[in-house]
Structure 1
Amino acid sequence: MQRTASARWHGGIKDGQGTISTQTGVLKDAPYGFASRFEGGPGTNPEELIGAAHAGCFTMAFSLFLTNAGFKADSIETRSTVTLDKVGEGFSITACDLDMTAKIPGIDQANFEKLATAAKENCPLSKLFANNAKITLKAALVS
């Protein structure tokens, strides 16, 4: 399976502007630039998109692990916080913090934690970041 996305940029780093698009069209010419990435300005940025992708990837992986263990979630909600830090002369993603809340009938706390940890360690995006960023998981089981 392969998926594509593209970026277009015009101008310098601080005065330039870009757009990001995805194959599916869910993003089509979404604006991004220096202000949206480093100054909280309008538009998206790569770290926000990585966070959305990581939250989605982990959540699906957790659903898979639950299904394989005989459970079905009523709901799973995950937020990913991606940290971009200055490292040496450039920047690096140094952390990806997952914060998940789930409602799963019939599961006990030990199974919940075991399956959540397995999903964190095995979702494709966690694997991608594993050697370069600290990945944490805060998981809460709600009734």
Structure 2
Amino acid sequence: MATRTGSAVWDGTLKQGKGTMKLGSGAFEGPYSFSSRFEEGKGTNPEELIGAAEAGCFSMALSANLEKAGHPAKRISTTATVKLEMVEGAPKITTIDLKTEAEVPGIDEGKFQEQAEHTKKTCPVSV
């Protein structure tokens, strides 16, 4: 299995500083700040990247599980909503909700839900 890296640089104080996060593969590099993380400022934030990782992992794992069950998917689209809240005076991710839409020929809703629940329990990023 592969080992992956990500890195971040932060310059300055918490509220006035700024930083850059990037993926080791070079596929993404983006700015982040106090405003982009805790307010509605421009740039990315760790929670957004965690959401993208969770959605990507879940979609791929669900595709694999559906194929193993004899129902290969044509398309899977997942959106992760990551909630950051203050818990005991510190910011903490409290929930990550996934919304998935998929085009899977020949599968009924019950079987699809069964595969989605199994995937939720076994997705490497979720565990």
- Same fold by TM-score greater than 0.5: yes
- How many residue pairs match? The answer is 126
| Partner residue, 1:25 | 26
| Partner residue, 2:111 | 111
Name the aligned partner's letter for residue 27 of structure 2: V
**Following TM superposition, by how much is the alpha carbon of 1:72 offset from its aligned partner in structure 2, in angstroms?**
1.0
1:48 and 2:48 matched: yes
1:21-79 deviation per Cα after TM superposition (whole angstroms, max 9, x unaligned): 11111113x10010100111000000000000000000011001001111111111100
Name the aligned partner's letter for residue 115 of structure 2: L
| Partner residue, 1:6 | 7
Whole-angstrom distance in 2 between the partners of 1:79 and 1:22? 20
Q: CA RMSD in A?
A: 0.8
Structure 2: gaps (5+ residues): none
**Secondary structure in 2 matching 1:106:** coil
1:83-131 deviation per Cα after TM superposition (whole angstroms, max 9, x unaligned): 011001211100000000111001112211100111111101111xxxx
Alignment of 1:1-143 (within 5 A): 1-28=2-29, 30-127=30-127
1:1-20 deviation per Cα after TM superposition (whole angstroms, max 9, x unaligned): 21001000100000000000
Whole-angstrom distance in 2 between the partners of 1:22 and 1:79? 20
Name the aligned partner's letter for residue 57 of structure 1: C
Whole-angstrom distance in 1 between the partners of 2:32 and 2:13? 13
Whole-angstrom distance in 2 between the partners of 1:7 and 1:64? 32
Structure 1: gaps (5+ residues): 128-143
Whole-angstrom distance in 2 between the partners of 1:42 and 1:67? 39
**Secondary structure in 1 matching 2:67:** helix
Q: TM-score, normalised by structure 2?
A: 0.96
**Following TM superposition, by how much is the alpha carbon of 1:81 offset from its aligned partner in structure 2, in angstroms?**
0.2
Name the aligned partner's letter for residue 35 of structure 2: A
Whole-angstrom distance in 1 between the partners of 2:56 and 2:113? 18
Whole-angstrom distance in 2 between the partners of 1:121 and 1:62? 11
